A and B are shown apart, each in its own frame.
Chain A
Amino acid sequence: MSHLRLKVEFGGGLELLFSNQRKHLVTVPPVVPQGNEGEGPADINFLVHWLKDNLLKERPELFIEGGTVRPGILVLVNDTDWELEGEGDYELKEGDEIVFISTLHGG
């Protein structure tokens, strides 16, 4: 099975943790190890860890907390609130656009 190509975008100041670049094209495996020995489809929780390991340049604690994104970071899946898409359990598809926006900066 070929890798999934995704568009990932950071906003609200999060881009500063990712080489100060807002838009990234990434490819991730469609099936990934899950829990003890099993395998499963790549989901957003996997993507968050993958981004931390492969793209994030500094201060991981501002992006990831307790196995998912830090509270206060909004996530959109193809321009829809991830809360409508199963949050971290959303299974990634070829061509998905995932946006992470921090709400934690001043106004």
Chain B
Amino acid sequence: MAPKSCALCRNAKAILRRPKTGQQICKDCFFRVFETEVHNTITEARLFKQGDSVAIGASGGKDSTVLAYVMKTLNERYQYGLNLFLLSIDEGITGYRDDSLETVKRNQQQYDMPLKILSYHELYGWTMDRVVSTIGKKNNCTFCGVFRRQALDRGAATLGVDHIVTGHNADDIAETVLMNIMRGDIARLGRCTAICTQGEDTIRRSKPFKYAYEKEIVMYAYFKKLDYFSTECIYSPDAYRGHARAFLKDLEAARPSAIIDIIHSGEAFEVKDEVRATQKAQQTCIRCGYMSSNDLCKACSLLEGLERGMSTAAITDKGRRKLEAQGPAPDNLRTIPYFHPPNSTITNDSPEQPQVND
């Protein structure tokens, strides 16, 4: 086939077909439109203001590596005036996270940004290696996901940043919309397409790649020769997400706009006031001060189950009843340090919590 010329500059040879538009474009135009679209996403949603400190959740994988590179590029090009940090969570997975953290450490040098690593071991007293050796490979992704979310907020609080950005891309968000529909999870469906979320006292969290296709992120990393890590987690991936993902990839193959269409459907979804009224209000965890929809936050419940040798206590009704039958949590239970969000007036009316260090 004869080489096609770029649909934008009409000059250079096209190297990529954009899944979002079907346009065939050259390498330089691709870099420019990809970066400009992220910039537009950031400015239209007014994600930042001059002088903000922003932590980039960095796993060493493709999305967060490209995010760090693009955030640095845009911050310089458009003078956002942001102080950027890399924030990594070490789940304690030998042969997986230790290798990917090496990539983040190289990114720290390459992008000249300060790096903070917070480990599950430091925060919860458990590595994922130890969680899996205790509970097996069932439900382990639940522990990891809940622990990571809270660890990111706590790491960000330590850094004193205003904002966390994550590398979630359009494909990830479309997958989440599908998963929430299939599970009938109305509460999450209502909020999963929000570009920026903020609980009452937590740090702002947003997704500048909300409209960026995974294909373009990977192509961007490839053509820019960015250094990223790509190995499957050794503790089996989230199977449910895997199904949604495979289904979405099939949809994309049939019609590339499917991904953005699903996001738009999710955005247009409205929860009736009567239904919204039945949803649990956010409160703070009585044990650790983190935001929660119950007395205990999910991480505290999961940790208590682990510590008391009943790992399903926070996962199944049967497990919860078994835990309750054994009475209240013992005084010497290991707990998560009390959470003090940055820039907030702290009214510490929480009960005293004994701290046990291992």
The residues of A with any CB-CB pair to B shorter than 8 Å are: 11-13, 16, 70-72, 74, 76, 79-81, 83-86, 90, 99, 101-107
CA gap between A12 and B16 in the complex, in Å? 18
> Looking at A71, A79, A85, A86, which has the most chain B CB atoms within 10 Å of its CB?
A71
Chain B residue with Cβ nearest A14: B230
Could you tell me how many residues of chain B have their Cβ less than 8 Å away from some Cβ of chain A? 36
Query: Is residue B218 contacting chain A, with contact meaning CB distance below 8 A?
Result: yes
CA gap between A103 and B15 in the complex, in Å? 18
Q: Report the minimum CB–CB distance from A79 to chain B (whole Å).
A: 6
CA gap between A86 and B17 in the complex, in Å? 12
Give chain A residues whose Cβ lies under 8 Å from the Cβ of B233. Answer: 106
Closest 7 CB pairs of A and B: A107-B63, A71-B249, A107-B61, A13-B230, A72-B249, A83-B17, A105-B230
Interface string of B201-245 (1 = CB under 8 A from A): 000000000000011011100110000001111000100000001
CA gap between A30 and B250 in the complex, in Å? 31
Give chain A residues whose Cβ lies under 8 Å from the Cβ of B222. Answer: 11, 74, 76, 99, 101
B169 and A105 contact, CB distance less than 8 A? no
Q: A74-B219, A81-B16, A81-B17 are in contact. Are A104 and B59 (CB under 8 A)?
A: no
Q: A103-B214, A106-B59 are in contact. Are A80 and B231 (CB under 8 A)?
A: no
Query: Is residue B188 contacting chain A, with contact meaning CB distance below 8 A?
Result: no
Give chain A residues whose Cβ lies under 8 Å from the Cβ of B24. Answer: 84
Give chain B residues whose Cβ lies under 8 Å from the Cβ of A83. Answer: 17
Residue among B17, B63, B252 making CB contact with A71, cutoff 8 Å: B252
Chain A residue with Cβ nearest B238: A106
CA gap between A50 and B214 in the complex, in Å? 28
Q: Report the minimum CB–CB distance from A46 to chain B (whole Å).
A: 17
Q: A11-B230, A12-B230, A106-B59 are in contact. Are A74 and B218 (CB under 8 A)?
A: yes
Query: Is residue B266 contacting chain A, with contact meaning CB distance below 8 A?
Result: no
Chain B residue with Cβ nearest A86: B1
Chain B residue with Cβ nearest A99: B222
CA gap between A103 and B216 in the complex, in Å? 10
A105 and B61 contact, CB distance less than 8 A? yes
B214 and A81 contact, CB distance less than 8 A? no
Q: Report the minimum CB–CB distance from B91 to chain A (whole Å).
A: 12
B215 and A74 contact, CB distance less than 8 A? yes
> Looking at B169, B171, B230, which has the most chain A CB atoms within 10 Å of its CB?
B230
Give chain A residues whose Cβ lies under 8 Å from the Cβ of B289. Answer: none
A102 and B230 contact, CB distance less than 8 A? yes
B231 and A16 contact, CB distance less than 8 A? yes
Q: Report the minimum CB–CB distance from B71 to chain A (whole Å).
A: 14
Q: A13-B231, A81-B17, A84-B16 are in contact. Are A103 and B1 (CB under 8 A)?
A: no
Residue among B1, B13, B218, B223 making CB contact with A12, cutoff 8 Å: B218
B231 and A81 contact, CB distance less than 8 A? no
Residue among A80, A81, A85, A104 making CB contact with B245, cutoff 8 Å: A104
